[in-house]
Structure formats: structure tokens, C-alpha cells
Structure 1
Amino acid sequence: MPYQDVFVLFWKQVKESLEEGRFAKLTMAKTIGKPNLRNIFVRPVYSEGGFKVLLKLRYRSKETEDQEDELTLEEAFVVMKSHLRKSFSSVLLFTTTKDVTFKINKKGAGSITESLPTFSDATSADNDVKK
């Protein structure tokens, strides 16, 4: 199945984990080549304006400062989708009940695998947000 279709299925699991309070963290890893962008992290943020996520772009070079933005989940989806198969070949969803890994192979097919959870509880990124 094309990776775009599989990513939509994966993203449904992301939304469900958030709705059920099981979402711990989302990480884009496995860079393609040696881009300056090393990782993308998404963590939940609960604020007065409702639910948002903290999207953090972490760079390899010390000259490039890491970026953090509070976004809606849909805005984070657009950012992450734009980096698939260009900069990253996998996305890891960490929840309190299971870890879910989305991968793109060299032929452009996507797959989803599940494993035991890494996190036992979900914590908010509220304290990490730089104002």
C-alpha cells in the first residue's frame, strides 16, 4: 500500500490515542541521507485555549537553533507529512498502551507495526514551552 494511505491510517491511531488520553509522544526518526534536521518531536500541551501540541524541530548543527511551535494536531499533521520520504522514513507513536511505528520502505510502501509501550503515563509538555 502506498505510504500516504498507510500514514493516514497511522494518524487515525495518533488521534485516537489523544482522544483517549494515552498519547505520550510522537517522534520522526530515521533520517534519509544527512539532513540538518535530526528529529521532529510532538508532545501534548493542555492550555486555556484547548488542546494543542508542541512541535519541536531538532537540528544537527549547533549553528541552527531548535524550533518549537504550539500547533493544532492538524497543523502538526501537515508539517510531519511534508517531511515524510524527504527527510524521514519512520514515525514512532508512543502511547501508554502500545508503541506504534510507521515506516516507509525503499519502494515507497508504508507499514505499521506495534510493540509494547515505552511510556507508562502521558505527560504534558507545558513546562517545556519557551515563551
Structure 2
Amino acid sequence: MPYQDMFVLFWKELEKSVQEGNFAKLTMSKTIGKLELKNIFVRPIYNDDGFKVLLKHRYRLRETEDEEVELTLEEAFNVVKSHLKNPFSVVIIFTTAKDINFKINKKGIATITETPPTFRSVIQAKSDV
């Protein structure tokens, strides 16, 4: 199965955790090469308008200010998916029930694994956007 199809299955786990109210954070890491962009983070925002996320681009150089944008879950999916393999090879969903790891190896093969949860509670992002 291509890594793009595996990622759709992985994202369904994130959607499930949102429905269950235990989604804490998503992190993209392990860039291929030393790029300016270091990480992408996605944090939950629950408000009267429904569920949204705060997507943050974290840059390697401290002189470059992080960029934050408030998005729907579908919009965040498109941003995260567009950064798969180029440049990020690892995506982790942190929930209060479990952590779900998505990794793409050098051959372009993806794996999904689960580990015990890192987070004990959900801390909402504070939107300054």
C-alpha cells in the first residue's frame, strides 16, 4: 500500500481521537536534510464555533518567527499531507489513550505503530490568530 493511502488510515485515527475528545497534539519531525523548517505542530481548539486546530510551522533559526494559522481539520490534513516525505518522514498523533506513529522509510514504505500515551490530559492551543 502506498504511503499516501497509509496516511489516510493514520489520519482516520486522529479524527477518531477528536470525536472521543482525547486528541492532544500532532507533530511532524525528521526532516530529510537540514531545512529551514524544523517541525509542524497541530494543537486542538474547541470553541463555540466547533472544532478547529492551530497549525504551527516551527523554524530552525530563532530569527525566523514561527507561523501559526487556525484551520479546520480538513484544511490541516491537506497541509500535513503536502509535507509528507518532502521534507518530513515522521508524524506522531498524541492522544490521552495512546500515541500513534507514522513513519516513511527511505524506500517510501510507511508503517503505523502505537505506543503508550505521552499526554495525560488535553491542553487546548491558545489562538492568537
TM-score of the alignment, normalized to the shorter chain, above 0.5: yes
Q: Secondary structure at the match of 1:16?
A: helix
For residue 33 of structure 1, give the secondary structure of its aligned residue in structure 2.
Answer: coil
TM-score normalised according to structure 1 size: 0.95
Q: Indicate the SS of the match to 2:97.
A: coil
Distance in 2 separating the partners of 1:14 and 1:50: 16
**Structural mapping, 1:33-72, within 5 Å:** 33-72=33-72
Which has the larger displacement, 58-67 or 79-88? Answer: 58-67
2:128 aligns with: 130
Q: How far, CA to CA, are the matches of 1:18 and 1:123 in structure 2?
A: 13
Residue-pair matches, total: 129
Residue 3 of structure 2 corresponds to 3
CA distance in 2, matches of 1:11, 1:122: 18
Q: Report the equivalent of 1:81.
A: 81
- Normalised by the length of structure 2, the TM-score is 0.96
Post-superposition Cα deviations, 1:73-119, rounded to whole Å, max 9, x if no partner, equal 00000000010010100100000010000000111111100000001
CA RMSD of aligned residues (A): 0.9
Deviation at 1:62, TM superposition (A): 2.5
One-letter amino acid of the structure 2 residue matched with residue 61 of structure 1: L
What percent of counterpart residues are identical? Answer: 64
- Cα distance in 2 for residues equivalent to 1:106 and 1:71: 30
Q: For the residues of structure 1 that align with 2:86 and 2:26, how far apart are their CA atoms?
A: 18
- Distance, in Å, in 1 between the alignment partners of 2:83 and 2:40 is 9
Name the structure 1 match of 2:96: 96
The unaligned stretches of length 5 or more in structure 2 are: none
